Amino acid sequence: MGEDHGVNRWQTAQAAEFTRALRVQLAEMQSKIAWIERQTARASNARRVALRMEATTLRRHIKEAESLIARLERDYLGRENRRPICERRPIFAKTSAEGAGGQARTLKNSVG
């Protein structure tokens, strides 16, 4: 039996599942940032500083997750990063009743 030194099915399945999990985390982080932004408007100065620091950390984590998704797709799923993740079609969108302030939120994915 010959060995396949390329990407095998197991690695592809693992990359697909990790990409899916990262997208779920992205949605949660984006929702958390929106919540923080709403809280910042009515927070005290000290609380506002803490919230902004948390939002900055979340934005950094979002960029890292988007970078990981792009690498996984390129290296294991055979997809080129043609468009930034933020411009890709949504997997799901909350209705305006679910989104705070009447704004619908979407999770962007990389399937074009």
Per-residue pLDDT tens for 13-39?
Answer: 999 999 999 999 999 999 999 999 999
What is the domain partition of the chain in residue ranges?
A: 9-83
Identify how many contiguous H helices and E strands the chain contains and give both numbers.
2, 2
Helix H or strand E segment including 108: strand 106-108
Tokens of 95: 């209705």
Residue 5: per-residue pLDDT: 56
DSSP structure string for 91-112 = EEE--TTTSGGG---EEE-S--
Q: What's the rounded Cα separation, in Å, for the pair 75 and 85?
A: 16
Length of the chain: 112
26 vs 77, which has greater pLDDT?
Answer: 26
